[in-house]
Amino acid sequence: MDIDKFKQVNDTYGHAVGDQVLQVTAARLSALFRNDDIVARWGSEEFLALLPTTEISDASSIAARVLDAVSAAPIVIDNLTLHVTISIGVCSMKLELKDRGMSWQEVVHIADQSLYLAKRNGRNKAYGIVDALSVTSAEMAHGLRTNHNEGKVKLLEVFGSALATPSTLQ
């Protein structure tokens, strides 16, 4: 998960405001997940959630809840009101390729590719890979978009409610 346009927040309002945006977003995310889930700050404005007892079939509803929880209310800092959204990439730890299972590093990489797909397609969205049984590990290296366009992987696509209309996959 990645806070949309976070660099712009830091550049416009300063790192102290950016830090408060991170704290509020982290609190909103933490409130959504169960005790056996792990939510961590993964990078600058990125968060990673590991949901060990969740099936990929629940990914769309969870992603929708996360998108809505982050964007539902503006973040108010002093007399500043910020409307914050988040983009999400999803991949199952149980994802099987045509020729083998995937390592956790590969799963994180695929989730990251899915996240960037959400960013490229308008932000405040979630994309994830839900089926890759038609693609080998070598073919997966060609990228998520290529494999999707060739019909080799199935993607989930979730839009935040703050969007007026969903855009098409690019």
What residues are annotated to the active site? Answer: 45
Q: Could you count the other beta carbons within 10 Å of the beta carbon of residue 135?
A: 22
The C-alpha angle 68, 167, 134, rounded to 5 degrees, equals 95
The residues that bridge with 158 in the sheet, in sequence order, are 126
* DSSP sequence for 21-58: HHHHHHHHHHHHS-TTSEEEE-SSSBEEEE-TT--GGG
Residues 6+ apart with CB under 8 A from 4: 84, 85, 86, 87, 119, 123, 124
